[in-house]
Amino acid sequence: MNKIALMLASGITLIASACSSQTSTTTPTVTTGGDTILAPVETKSPNTNYKPAFAGQTRIAGVKTKTAYEGKVIGSGLKSPWAVISLPDGRLLINEKGGTMRIATTAGEISPAITGLPPVNSKGQGGLLGLVLDPSFATNRTIFWTFSEDTEGGSLTSVAKGRLSDDEKTVENATVIYRAAPAYKGTLHYGSRILFDKTGNIIFSTGERSDKETRPQAQDLKSGLGKIIRITPDGKPAPGNPFLDNANARPEIYSYGHRNVQSLAFHPVTGDLWEAEFGPRGGDELNLIQPGKNYGWPVITYGIEYSGGSIGDVIQQKEGMEQPVYYWDPVLSPAGMTFYTGDAIPEWKNNLFIGGLSSTHIARLVIENNKVVGEERILPGVGERFRDVTQGKDGALYAVTDGGKLYRIGK
């Protein structure tokens, strides 16, 4: 048994042992999907005594992958990688926080830095952020990315596009197409992930910049902070947006009331948009995003201040505000995420995989009928902050860590 597999097996054994001491049910059952049902993977005490809005909203039963697989480091030396996506030929395009990109093969060979991007403000949580290929990349070689940009009055989350040169050494004609104003003099909570939807328009996320003075802007429809935004590839409000005809709102806003969104993915079967966002101390959320909906921050939350203090009116539910499908307390610190569509590991089909930062594992969530019904921790013993995870063309998962490593997870 290789070292990673041994660590996985040991971690699962320890979790099962710890959990069995807290529950009278020591004999696992098996679902029709082939997963073994265990006690919840989280055994630490929560930060709060808040009550979930419904059964299964947090600390759902644990599951265990039965198909043999391994997680191994195939590359290292990346400089604070932030996003990883697959190119049409199976290689991986990677954003680095400081403002460069690189290409990695699935054998772990990593290219020199790709330059030519606009300057980024990489202080704090800023830098080069989300990354996506144009749907017609195979013919136009266009890429889009989000980044923290210095402007008059502070910094903000911006969207840019450019052409990956034929020699793959630079990005040509880089152009900023959208800026999520207002700017703010801070270094936290920029978001941001970016996707193309099935209509060929762009969906991307922003943070509310963390500080108490900017938090209320997550509820402000005149602000680009704490939002999911939908624009055309030219940076204009996309047709069909929920606030297009609202004079009191930005027409590019798709949903609001978000804290710090670093996770976006479309469900491969339903096409629904899913999002995960950082809570404060406790209360990280998984949300099913619907256009025009209010997701509550900072009015409702399942977390508390990092100092231990309360937030707002200390409420978790309010009419007109959406409940998270699932939440974590203690936190996962959810970064990039992807749905698995491969066939190599059957019980992973359509499951959601989320990179965990402070939790130092990848969360596997089994979702049925828009509810989380099982949770597993992937690579819990390697001690890495998983910043992003994507599915490769070969059906394996590929993940990057803040420590500069590239992992392959699969058979």
pLDDT computed for residue 25 by the predictor: 29
Q: Is 301 helix (H, G, I), strand (E, B) or coil?
A: coil
Q: Considering the domain boundaries, does residue 314 fall inside one?
A: yes
Q: What is the Rg, in whole angstroms, of the alpha carbon atoms belonging to the chain?
A: 20
Domain count, the chain: 1
Distance CA 303, CA 108 (A): 39
User: What's the CA gap between 228 and 275, in Å, rounded?
Assistant: 9
Q: Judge whether 19 lies within some domain.
A: no
Domain presence at residue 168: yes
pLDDT at position 33: 53
Q: What is the overall mean pLDDT for the chain?
A: 92
Q: Is the pLDDT of residue 298 over 50?
A: yes
Q: Is residue 127 part of a domain?
A: yes
User: Per-residue pLDDT tens for 307-329?
Assistant: 999 999 999 999 999 999 999 99
Please tell me the distance from the alpha carbon of residue 240 to that of residue 230, in angstroms, as a whole number: 10
361 is catalytic: no
| In-domain check, residue 336 | yes
Per DSSP, the residues of 328-387 read ESS---EEEEEE---SSSGGGTT-EEEEESTT-SEEEEEEETTEEEEEEEESTTS---EE
Q: How far apart are CA 255 and CA 10, in angstroms?
A: 42
Q: Looking at residue 9, what is its pLDDT?
A: 40
Q: Could you tell me the residue range of the domain that residue 233 belongs to?
A: 73-410
Question: Does residue 219 lie in a domain region?
Answer: yes
Q: Please, are residues 237 and 251 in contact by the beta-carbon 8 Å criterion?
A: yes
pLDDT in tens, 342-391: 999 999 999 999 999 999 999 999 999 999 999 999 999 999 999 999 99
Is residue 204 in a domain?
Answer: yes
How many residues are there in the chain?
411
Q: What percent of the chain has pLDDT over 70?
A: 92
* Omega before 330 within 30 of 0, i.e. cis: yes
Question: What is the average pLDDT across 154-179?
Answer: 98
CA distances from 402 to 142, 336, 356, 410 (A): 26, 12, 11, 21
Q: Please check whether residue 76 is in contact with residue 406, taking contact to mean a CB–CB distance below 8 angstroms.
A: yes
pLDDT the model gives residue 24? 28
Q: What is the mean pLDDT of residues 62-78?
A: 96
Q: How many CB atoms lie within 10 A of CB 182?
A: 17
The span from the CA of 280 to the CA of 329, in Å, is 10
Q: Rounded to the nearest 5°, which phi and psi values hold at 213?
A: -75, -25
CATH number of 329's domain: 2.120.10.30
Catalytic residue among 189, 258, 267, 361: 189
Q: Indicate the range of 8-22, 172-186, 269-283 predicted with least confidence.
A: 8-22
pLDDT of residue 168: 98
Q: Is residue 38 one of the residues assigned to a domain? A: no
Determine what percent of the chain is predicted with pLDDT higher than 90.
Answer: 91
What are the backbone angles phi and psi of residue 203, rounded to the nearest 5°? -115, 125
Look at residue 1 in the predicted model and tell me its pLDDT. Answer: 41
